[in-house]
Structure 1
């Protein structure tokens, strides 16, 4: 029970890190993943924090898969990485047997195109974990890892949660 509350509190903190707290509805917690609906935007998303680390972090790393029904955008993958990346640094996602190159800058990364986005979402449904690798602005290699237990259920809950927000 305490662990569930801690996970929920962490997701709530991530969900409000835009500065201004907005009304968000929790759609459920699934393993280490949470699903939320923000009817004001409207959008729904599945989100998880990366595994903890004792290494230096510039940002709190998380992975999210968002749906914006009014934009006809579904299952859009986004990673907030733990460090500010070096300009032009290669960003690689390893998920299951797949290796997918990402694009991004600063502390953010996302798929290069819709095909890669769909491949990541599909792989998340069967893999046990995913890890993003890159180099920070000081040239040091770093990685962030997310367990995927509960990811498929959270993505499904987010998709269903936005079905009514058209």
Structure 2
């Protein structure tokens, strides 16, 4: 129940003015749809307790022909010249970053990250001076729920 409360609080923080419909909570991850925005996403909060709030989302926007797009909200701002490194299991990716946001370079990288997420247990986002950590328990089911949730809306 504590995980559910944390995830719901996180969603309220992410976009308080948007209507949210829960598509399910799956261990450390949850899936939601955004009312009229016609997007769905899987989301989890970083397990860090000593840093700021950080979360990862994997979003689907059918109207934009976007499926499983990665977005990371970092716990702290990335240095302008800093590198953001995502490690999912044994796979590593260099992300594009601006401020507290980081994302994949292109759709191919999004697809590679999603494939890695399906077979790994943990994820780390490293920025000079700190690391945001995520448990991946439930991520595959939450991503699938988001894709299915948006496919039923159109």
Distance in 1 (alpha carbons) for counterparts of 2:7 and 2:58: 14
* Count of equivalent residues: 154
Shift of 1:43: 0.8
Q: Which of 110, 115, 123 lines up with 1:122 in the alignment? A: 115
| Larger Cα-atom Rg | 1
Instruction: Give the TM-score, by structure 1 length.
Output: 0.87
CA contact (8 A) 1:92 1:101 kept: yes
User: How big is the alpha-carbon RMSD for the aligned residues of Structure 1 and Structure 2?
Assistant: 1.4
Partner SS for 1:125: helix
Shift of 1:115: 1.2
Instruction: Give the TM-score, by structure 2 length.
Output: 0.94
- Is 2:122 the counterpart of 1:159? no
* 150 and 19 in structure 1: CA distance in 2 versus 1, 3 angstrom threshold: closer
Distance in 1 (alpha carbons) for counterparts of 2:119 and 2:9: 28
- Is 2:58 the counterpart of 1:62? no
- Is 2:134 the counterpart of 1:146? yes
Mapping 1:13-32, distance limit 5 Å: 13-18=9-14, 20-32=16-28
Instruction: Structure 2: state its 5+ residue gaps.
Output: none
Shift of 1:13: 2.2
Instruction: Structure 1: state its 5+ residue gaps.
Output: 136-140
